[in-house]
Amino acid sequence: YDLRNEDLKDLQELGQGNGGSVKKVEHVPTKTIMAKKIVLIDAKPSVRKQILRELHIMHDCHSPYIISFYGAFLSDPNICICMEYMNKGSLDGIYKKIGAIDIEVVGHVALAVLEGLTYLYDVHRIIHRDIKPSNILCNSQGQIKICDFGVSGELINSIADTFVGTSTYMSPERIQGAQYTVKSDVWSLGISLIELALGRFPFSESDPDDSDLSDFEGTLSPGTIGLPPKTEKDKSAKKDRRKSKGVSLQGGGMMMSILELLQHIVNEPAPRLTPEGRFPEEAEDFVDSCLFKDPDVRKTPKDLLKHPWVDQARASTFDLETWASTF
């Protein structure tokens, strides 16, 4: 495809994120339906061209578990990235619509994400860096694919400059300033799988062990995150967050709760698939192995592809196409 903005007809808004917005479009000359991601980049022309060059690697990414790439172009002041359109949207939208996802389907999600991550790393030495339900997409054929991986270092830098928000899938070692590795993606996968299976973000309310989040003191290493002293206002912020179920972290004036959450991830035991006995033991064990807090103990995506729960998903005859036709 030789993509030009004039050839793309807007059909529908698909969503907005931190980095930009995504639209369903038609490439009129070829009648191809695509998803067009528009990223506002406040950077010099040389940097923008560098980003385009880096995005080019995506042309060589071919896997059934990775969103296909049609091309990218500059459209002042934006960068537009055109990719395969997934007509059932992302898994966060799906569980918010239909409720907690069947654990059998969650097993297929684990398999697909691990295959995608292993492909990206083994073939291209790419680390995803942003595994979360909104970056795992589904279509009506029942295919599950990952998108928004960190191919372009310059793009990551440019977005990071303007980044405000929830880093809530971030591993403990990342919060403490360590390098990204494939194992950081594994942590994010573990958190995402719990979220899908429970139908809510795992660090949000009704965690029986988490008696009072605001009791945590600033034990992060100096210089990572400055933690302001606690005030009465912080306590009411905490209450607001509990009332409104985790997702409210994105609301305005919630910075204190984000810091609390980051502290919680670093200092407290990792979340688990609970209550015990509700899910298959293999699923519990898989999630536990994604969420070892020490990255040296945590496995790589490739290792985890050998986990019994993933073997089960691979061997299962569960029909994802039929499942996807129910919503």
Active site residues: 130
Strands 32-40, 136-138: pairing kind: unpaired
221 binds, among Mg ion, ligand ATP, none (CB under 5 to 8 A by kind): none
Residue 44, annotated as binding a ligand: no
Tell me the residue type at 246.
Answer: G
Minimum distance from CB of 281 to ligand ATP (Å)? 32
Residue 150 binding ligand ATP, by CB under 6 A? no
- Cα torsion 48, 54, 59, 65: sign: negative
What residues between 77 and 116 interact with ligand ATP by CB under 6 A?
A: 83-86, 89-90, 93
Query: Smaller CB distance to ligand ATP: residue 18 or 231?
Result: 18
- Cα separation, 264 vs 225, whole angstroms: 13
Binding mask 129-148 for Mg ion (x = CB under 5 A): ------x------------x
The residue of the chain with the least Cβ separation from ligand ATP equals 17
Residue 35 touching ligand ATP (CB under 6 A) = yes
The nearest distance, CB 34 to ligand ATP, in angstroms, is 8
Q: Which of these, 3, 35, 22, 38, lies nearest to 159 by C-alpha position?
A: 38
30 binds, among Mg ion, ligand ATP, none (CB under 5 to 8 A by kind): none
Q: Give the pair of three-digit tokens for residue 62.
A: 């071919």
Instruction: Please report whether residue 17 would count as binding ligand ATP according to CB under 6 A.
Output: yes
In whole angstroms, the minimum distance from the beta carbon of 91 to Mg ion comes to 11
Of 77 and 228, nearer to ligand ATP (C-beta) is 77
Q: How far is CA 310 from CA 140, 248, 264, 306, 322, in A?
A: 22, 32, 29, 7, 21
* Residue 61 region by backbone torsions, left for phi larger than 0, else alpha for psi between -120 and 50, else beta: beta
Asked if residues 295 and 173 have their Cβ atoms less than 8 Å apart, the reply is yes
Q: What is the rounded distance in angstroms from the CA atom of residue 166 to the CA atom of residue 257? A: 10
35 binds, among Mg ion, ligand ATP, none (CB under 5 to 8 A by kind): ligand ATP
Please give the residue ranges that form the binding site for ligand ATP (CB under 6 A). 14-20, 22, 35, 67, 83-86, 89-90, 93, 130, 134-135, 137, 147-148
